[in-house]
Structure 1
Amino acid sequence: MRFALSPEQEAFAASLDALLSTLDCDTATRAWGAGDHGPGLKIWRRLADQGLTALTTPSHRGGLAEEDGTGATTVDAVLAFEVLGRFCPPGPWTDSAVLPCLLDDEILASAAAGETLVSLAFPPYLPFALDADIADARFLVDGTSLRGFTPGTPLTSLDSSRRLFEPVPGDELGPALDPARAFDLGALLTAAQLLGAGRHLLEMSVAYAGQRRQYGREIGRFQAIKHLLAEVVTALELARPLLHGAAVTAEPADVSAAKVACGDAAHLAARTALQVHGAIGYTAEHPLGLRLTRIRALTSAWGTPAVHRHRVLAAIAP
């Protein structure tokens, strides 16, 4: 079987990329981390108008997904979240996308429209709730049950824009529809963001290597720099088919393989970007830092690398 993106899918990803390139996501992300949610919420609403928050919601709840497969698919969601990873806008994007796997309720319509922000806690894989302080709806996956929760102690994240809170369990709301599918989708969309962030760091590194001069020539002309960047290209290009394949099959082992590969490739891109940029990459003002901390935080979100490697091993071991 030959898998290739359709022209419509490529155009959708390109339209999101074009839109986000006109928005100041870096400033919004920094403001979000400082407690000013206004700029980030404006970006949230703009992307909701483009249908991003409705990609995984069934049509009978106001979303774009159809049961017969004619509407938005998981591949479409992965493409969208890869673009999100490139620009790193703040907000609980993955939580909102996963919610349709956990319940079938009227709240899905407002979430799909971008009017309701959702915060999820999914222990042990997602023990802390993202942006619970400003979320309109909060859900805690307790085994096979779904509970509400209130935000407890705020916690510090490596990524200052990821505002985490300990969930204080509330009343039971009923059974969770498909927790296993919710976890896999969350891990898959997190992998997509990692891949997008890694690809963006590669582009930044290539551009900088073509501008920075040492010893009378651009550093990108040195063989050592070329080798570093080539290794990143290889890692990212090998991870992307795993990501898209997992979006098609939805097999847990495939999802975990994609999460590991995208995380490793993004980490390599981050490490190489620091080597190429040098001291300027360590400054808080440089856009490189936003992707570095986001990659570090997302690598362990929705299952650590050890968790996902164990799932792959369990699937292939005799």
Structure 2
Amino acid sequence: MRFQLTEDQRALKAGVRELLGRRFGREALRAAVDAPGRLDRELWRALGDAGFFALRLPEADAGVGLGLPEADAGVGLGLPEAVLAFEEAGRALLPGPLVATHLAAGRVPGAATGETVVTAVDGELVEWLEAADVALGEVAGAVPLRSVDPLTPLHRTPVDASGRAPDPVAALLTAAEQLGTAVRVQELAVQHARTREQFGQPVGAFQAVQHLCADLLVRTETARVAVYAAAVTADPADIAAARLLADEAAVRGARDCLQVHGGMGFTWEADVHLHLKRAWVRARRGGGGTESEELLAARLVA
């Protein structure tokens, strides 16, 4: 993927955004917040029909040769296109074990079509355990946790798998979701800065707010370049760098967006806190934080 997206890639990105805007707009987002733990199966199947989970599976003809059932035949695209789709999912705050189900497509029957919801143990945590049809990893004896994110129910497993090497594709797709959150909080901050007035002028006229919005833009675009590049190379070190930058862009971006909003940003009615909480939860997934730092350090030493 070149850094200038192809026409097909732009069409894919726009198509996913249009689908999510139609099926998971703000009203649906707020309904999901009011019903924590309930996964919208109709939306999940709509994602399957659109090819979201099967983007990287071979197309029908090629899939037969690989032993895939016809129902699980895919779209035949690559990792760069999956990154674009997951970026839009992150921007929309789409709930559910998206990464686990995407990675299970072609291996777990029904995952590619959205008929089967798949989750997986990540370290000692597992997301959406009670709503999932299939859980990959040791989940016996898992206990529910009080999740900071109302849209991501969590369980802690008795077996800590954090010492295992994280799946680099899972780490990259999580980075893409974080990039989507960074994009969205930047949009929200700029929109508020342009429309909210204090002392007879938009708050965006004040230098402190301008600096916050500028920092949001720089972090987002830096993360975008890193995530898109890692999608092309699929190199573990590139993915680790992209993950660190995307986690920072999402978490710090959401915090800065909240500051731009001022006191109203802390209210339940504003969406800013939902983006911050989701960014916190994603940052705990495998392949982020210390794991990425150690991988990069080992590469530099080598």
Interval of TM-score (by shorter of Structure 1 and Structure 2):
0.7 to 0.9
Which deviates further from its counterpart, 229-238 or 283-292? 283-292
Q: Counterparts in 2 of 1:97-112, with a 5 A limit?
A: 97-99=102-104, 105=107, 107-108=108-109, 110-112=110-112
Tell me: CA distance 1:42–1:193, structure 2 relative to 1, closer, same or farther (3 Å).
Answer: same
* Equivalent residue, structure 1, for 2:20: 20
How much has 1:32 moved relative to structure 2? 4.4
What TM-score does the superposition give when structure 2 sets the normalisation length? 0.88
Is 1:78 the counterpart of 2:80? The answer is no
Residue equivalent to 1:137: 134
Q: Is the 8 A contact 1:52 1:80 kept in 2?
A: yes
Contact 1:54 1:64 in 2 (8 A): yes
Q: Is the 8 A contact 2:56 2:78 kept in 1?
A: yes
| Residues 28, 192 of structure 1: alpha-carbon distance in 2 compared, 3 angstrom cutoff | farther
Which aligned pairs between 1:176-255 and structure 2 lie closer than 5 A? 183-255=167-239
Structure 1, gaps ≥5 residues long: 66-70, 141-147, 170-178
In the other structure, the counterpart of 1:64 is 74
RMSD, aligned CA: 2.1
Instruction: State the identity as a percent.
Output: 34
Matched, 1:50 2:40: no
Structure 1 residue matching 2:147: 3-state secondary structure: coil
1:41 pairs with 2:9: no
How far did 1:185 drift? 0.8
TM-score by length of 1: 0.83
Alignment of 1:102-181 (within 5 A): 105=107, 107-108=108-109, 110-122=110-122, 126-140=123-137, 149-150=139-140, 152-167=142-157
Q: Distance in 1 between matches of 2:7 and 2:31?
A: 31
CA drift at 1:303: 3.0
* Alpha-carbon distance in 2 for matches of 1:16, 1:257: 26
* SS of aligned partner of 1:112: coil
Larger strand percent: 1
Structure 2: how far apart are the matches of 1:168 and 1:135? 19
- Contact map agreement 1:119 1:129 (CA 8 A) in 2: yes
- Structure-1 separation of matches of 2:181 and 2:222: 15
Structure 1 residue 250: Cα displacement: 1.0
Kindly provide the CA deviation profile for residues 169-217 of structure 1, in whole angstroms up to 9, marking residues without a partner as x: 7xxxxxxxxx86x710111011011110111001011011111111110
C-alpha separation between the residues in 1 aligned to 2:186 and 2:223? 14
Q: Distance in 2 between matches of 1:32 and 1:56?
A: 32
1:310, distance to aligned residue in structure 2 (A) = 1.2
Retained in 2: the 8 A contact 1:120–1:129? yes
Q: Which amino acid aligns with 1:166?
A: R
Over 6 Å off, 4+ runs = none
Contact 1:26–1:290 at 8 Å: present in 2 too? no
Partners of 1:56 and 1:63 within 8 A in 2 = no
Structure 1 residues 3, 279: closer, same or farther in 2, change over 3 A? closer
Instruction: State the 1:64 CA deviation.
Output: 2.2
The one-letter code matched in structure 2 to 1:229 is C
Q: Tell me which residue corresponds to 1:316.
A: 300
